[in-house]
Amino acid sequence: MKLVYFTYMLAGLLIVLVLALAVYSSQYFYLVLAFPLCLDLWNVYRHIRLHFTRLTVGAGQLRYETGILGKSTRTVELTKVQDVRVDQTLGQRILGTGDLSLESAGESGLFTIRNIDNPQSVADRILSAKRAT
């Protein structure tokens, strides 16, 4: 959600900047305003998609559900989780987000959950739940 909120703020600032520039020159106003509005629409889509994505750890299982109209669910037994990895780019480190990769035995292998908040604490929670089973 942090990345979504950051993009909302960026689009808002761009819209204010475009409106301020429109006072001085209205020749290309609609063309320049199109970029922040498209950025905002893209961000609204990401925000809605994020509300329909859920990662649940419990009962010896890790369940990852995603989808707005259709739904895709991936369930991995915690005893089969072999590796939990956190990757963060510089921008993700600044925002406190990251990518969480899980590798499981006997399943289709590695899968990655992108741009989650506090990825290291989520990885630690998964590993502590694995130890508890």
Q: What is the CATH number of the domain that holds 116?
A: 2.30.29.30
Structural domain of 35 = 2-50
- The set of residues, in sequence order, having a beta carbon less than 8 Å from that of 96 and lying 6+ positions away, is 2, 117, 118
pTM of the complete model: 0.70
Q: How many domains does the chain have?
A: 2
Structure tokens at 57: 């750890």
Q: What integer pLDDT is reported at residue 29 of this predicted model?
A: 66
| Average pLDDT for runs of 10 along the chain of length 133 | 78 79 69 76 86 89 90 89 93 90 80 90 92 84
Per-residue tokens: 73 = 């669910």
- Report how far residue 104's alpha carbon sits from residue 44's, in angstroms, rounded to the nearest whole number: 33
